[in-house]
Amino acid sequence: MRQFPFDGHKLPAQLSNCFSGDQSLMDVVVYAVDFDRRCCHDPEWDVCVPEVDRKGPAETVIYLPVQRYHFYYTLNFVVFMFFLNLIGLTGFAVATDDVADRIAISATVALAAIAYKLFCSDVLPKINYNTALDWYILLSFLWIFLLNSYFATASSHFLFNFGGDSAASEAEVRAFTKEEERVACGSLTCLAIGIFAGWPLFRYFVVKRDWAVVDPNATEDPYILYLFCENVFFLKNMLRM
């Protein structure tokens, strides 16, 4: 599930004979595997075209690939965190020397993100590695940390440059402040957009590559599972009679 919520799984159905004495008399040949999509409808999963893997005369595995619908997670997690990060950029509208007001805005965004992360923990899969959605949330928290760090250190940075220079005019300080703020705001905005843009790029380059052989548009017509078994072990009992 490292690609969650773009993950897909292959559900196996194994047809085999576990009795070693009868395996030589069994030959399972699967001619076709299809299904009725109306019976397999699921609001969270898209049922794809089945696959057949014939491992030998006595063993055949039928895989039913399913792929998760990602729209719910993209809308309620990714888009929400993106707009929450953009709200933090409103702190640049506050004067540079009003550090308390700026940190109040960024800290409020951080607390909202933490509360939302606790809510998301009940929905996300509990596994011992990070999924794609976990990495996105982690990068969003890193962005909020950078925003808080800048708001906390911006005023001291300006004092370091102009605090001991009494000859610096108000116009010079204002020009430096405006340029510095423009660079910081632009960099943080581009970083937030880059984190958000990486989400569809990940789906296009990684998921499409791994699931390129699977056609999700299976037919809507009902089908039957056709199995043809030659020389199965129960014929052995008939011959003894």
Nearest to 216 by CA among 72, 75, 71, 68: 68
Predicted pLDDT at 144: 93
Predicted pLDDT at 159: 52
Q: DSSP class of residue 74?
A: I
* Residue 104: both structure tokens together: 């109040």
| Alpha-carbon gap, residue 161 to 151, rounded angstroms | 16
| Alpha-carbon gap, residue 151 to 54, rounded angstroms | 62
Residue appearing with tokens 């794609």: 132
Predicted pLDDT at 174: 58
| Alpha-carbon gap, residue 134 to 3, rounded angstroms | 10
Domains in the chain and their CATH numbers?
A: 8-69+214-240 (no CATH), 71-210 (1.20.58.390)
| Alpha-carbon gap, residue 1 to 213, rounded angstroms | 19
| Alpha-carbon gap, residue 238 to 202, rounded angstroms | 58
Q: In 3-state terms, what secondary structure has residue 29?
A: strand
Predicted pLDDT at 22: 61
| Alpha-carbon gap, residue 30 to 229, rounded angstroms | 8
Residues with pLDDT less than 50, the chain: 164-168, 213-241
